[in-house]
Amino acid sequence: MKIFGKVRHRPSASWRQATDRAFTLIGDGRYDDAGALLTRAADMEPWLSESWFNLALLHKFRHDWEQARAAGLRAVALLDRSPGAPDWWNVGIAATALQDWPLARRAWQAYGLKVPGGGVAQSEPSGMALGSAAVRLSPEGEAEVVWGRRLDPARIEVLSIPLPSSGRRWGEVVLHDGVPHGERTTAAGPSYPVFDEIELWAPSPVPTWVVLLEAATEADRDALERLAADAGFAAEDWSSSVRLLCRTCSESSMPSDEGDGEHLDPHDHSEPGHPGPLGHRTAGSGSLWVPERECGIAAPAALVRGLLDGWVADSPDTREWRDLEEVC
Ligand SMILES: [Zn+2]
């Protein structure tokens, strides 16, 4: 082992064997056994960045963020080159999970991203202007793809109203992985990545309600969504905004309507199989407006009835609501 000089260090065959075996075990969910092998591999090749990268990855899978940060820092210390290195991205995720903001900033910068506000290095990254993206909640379970606003490279604030079955809420902040699984394209041109959630980063205090609306026209429905948004909360017409996609389609490139720039419909709810050659229903398909709508509302209990009553009062002949129920 030369400390100086240009000799590229190649890992031994036993390092490769232990590492390959560890990733097979990770695939089977046997994290403890994989951890023992990857620790042994790191003992064999402590000067190899990959040894620590792999350990950091394992700790990320286990959501053991202290260990992920420690292993990740050893990995990046041994890198030849920082920009574009996934090692730094994973350090950024671990630092974000731990709210270690100086390290998170350092990680994104080392990766090659601009992080505004150098004078406030202790504060969480903001103003990175990463725009909208979709995030797949509970990717291992009953997955649901929702829209949100990217706060930084590892966090999204959820701006769709997740369905009751998800057990999740509007306004949650989600920690997500760096490599997208799927994208959503728009007719206007831009496409948006679909990231996989790693874990809930911050819960939302705002409950979800379901209500049945009678809305004579699309404009009546839009008026409720606008009223809720103006009050600082949200309403979402699930009857038109949710579509079912199989996992394969969800993880591929799918068209999506462009909403108001912040909130892009539809969001996707997983279903087991692909429905034959005609494919999945697209949002807004079927041109006939159906007045009865199943609508999600994210608003405090003290506000939700007043919001609905106000909506009806603005146009009593074309609007009605019933069966309001708190669902999450
Ligand atoms: Zn499909």
- Residue 163 DSSP code: -
Give the Cα-Cα-Cα angle 289, 290, 296 (nearest 5 degrees): 110
What tokens were used for 123?
């504060």
Over the stretch 175-189, which tens digit does the pLDDT of each residue have? 999 999 999 988 888
Residue 71 Cα to ligand 1 middle (Å): 39
CA of 279 to the centre of ligand 1 (A): 6
Q: How far is the CA of 64 from the centre of ligand 1 (A)?
A: 34
Greater pLDDT, 231 or 245: 231
Q: How far is the CA of 281 from the centre of ligand 1 (A)?
A: 10
134 pLDDT higher than 50: yes
Compute, in angstroms, the gap from residue 327 CA to the centroid of ligand 1: 28
Q: How far is the CA of 250 from the centre of ligand 1 (A)?
A: 7
Cα of 304 vs its chain's centroid, Å: 27
Output the CA torsion sign for 107, 104, 143, 278.
negative
Whether 284 shows a pLDDT value over 60: the answer reads no
Average of pLDDT values for 194-214? Answer: 98
The reported pTM is: 0.91
To the nearest 10 degrees (0 to 180), the angle between helices 13-27 and 49-61 is: 10
Output the average pLDDT for the chain: 90
- pLDDT of residue 7 exceeding 60, the answer is no
Compute the distance from residue 246 Cα to the ligand 1 centre, in Å: 4
What residues pack around ion ligand 1 (CB closer than 5 A)? 246, 249, 274
Q: Compute the distance from residue 178 Cα to the ligand 1 centre, in Å.
A: 24
Most confident of 274-283, 284-293, 302-311: 302-311
Lowest-confidence region among 11-15, 160-164, 230-234, 254-258:
254-258
Separation of CA 320 and ligand 1 centre (Å): 35
pLDDT-based confidence at residue 118 (cuts at 50, 70, 90): low
Q: Say how many Å lie between the CA of residue 245 and the centre of ligand 1.
A: 5
Q: Which of 245, 248, 251 is CA-nearest to residue 270?
A: 245
- Map out the domains of the chain with their CATH numbers: 13-111 (1.25.40.10)
According to DSSP, the residues that pair with 321 across neighbouring strands are 213
For residues 164 and 242, give the distance between their C-alpha atoms in angstroms, rounded to a whole number.
12
Give the tens place of pLDDT for each residue, 23-78: 999 999 999 999 999 999 999 999 999 999 999 999 999 999 999 999 999 999 99
pLDDT at 283: 52
